[in-house]
A and B are shown apart, each in its own frame.
Chain A
Amino acid sequence: MQVADLLGCVTEITLFDPTIYIFMEEKMSLAQVVHRMSTDRDFAAQWKLDPEGALAQRGLRLSKEELDFLKVGLKRRDPEVDLSDIVKKAANWR
């Protein structure tokens, strides 16, 4: 395989920039929503009753995966989210 062959092949490949993919996601508001859930009692109360309404009222948008976690996944965990627990679990991954 020669270098010229490799260079010739470049035009056949769809050059995918994963950073574009990241950017598209981050236009959504996960950080803002999580911050409000943690610091804004009114938002947190409204979130419990009507998450979609709480978001819409403030012009916030979440992806399907983010909404699924905050609506459903979070309920299956301990209510208090502890950084040291997360760090301990992270230490065990291989």
Chain B
Amino acid sequence: MMERSTIQRSLPALAISILIAGTLFLAFVEIGFGENKVDSEDAVANRYIANGTTETGSSNLVTSVVVNYRGFDTLGEVTVLFLAATGVGAMINLLPEDGKKRSKGPKPSLIMTQGGMLAIPVIALFGTYVFLHGHLSPGGGFQGGVIIATAFLLYLIAKPDAKTSHRTLSLSESLAGLSFIGIGLIGLAVSGIFLDNVIEGFGVLGELVSGGLLPLIYIAIGIKVGSEMSGLVEKMRGDAS
């Protein structure tokens, strides 16, 4: 009996979901995603493709959109991540004491500890490479930061009793966030436009030193995301008993 009433209650919800999903599907089919609907120079995407490299100095077009044309959104997304991490941390703090205790897992094997210690520096280096070259090749601050956090996670798995400093993580996270805003304020001070890439011609296009302020922003994001995600992993591991 119980089950039937649950199914009966879910039926209208199911019907509404199917209706919305169906409408969305048909609408997306109708517009023909990716086709030119307006004169090609009026579509923002075409402008980015045509001028992105020269206007922003970044040879990675995605970066020119994410960090320059729509850099304000990226600042917002960094804030979203910050709030989510703060929120999860706060909720873990709100848990009753026994919910915060670190549970004892199996002891890591020799392969785990030794292999992990070999892999961690390589992973961290790769993460750094990804965010340092965000303006040149696929990747960037968010991706690089997450890669670095996986190195931190591996470290905690390999050495479950390792002492970590939450203070350091939280400090580097905050300073990186402030640097992002600080770089944005350089634009506001020089040209009166927040996040304006005031030295976009600096360096040689396609080389490491290029893209003006964009690589600096990606470095800040990389450090911020890396320490934020590491901090989250560290929080979730619980308090030492």
Partners in one complex: no
Q: List chain B positions with a Cβ less than 8 A from chain A.
A: none
Q: List chain A positions with a Cβ less than 8 A from chain B.
A: none
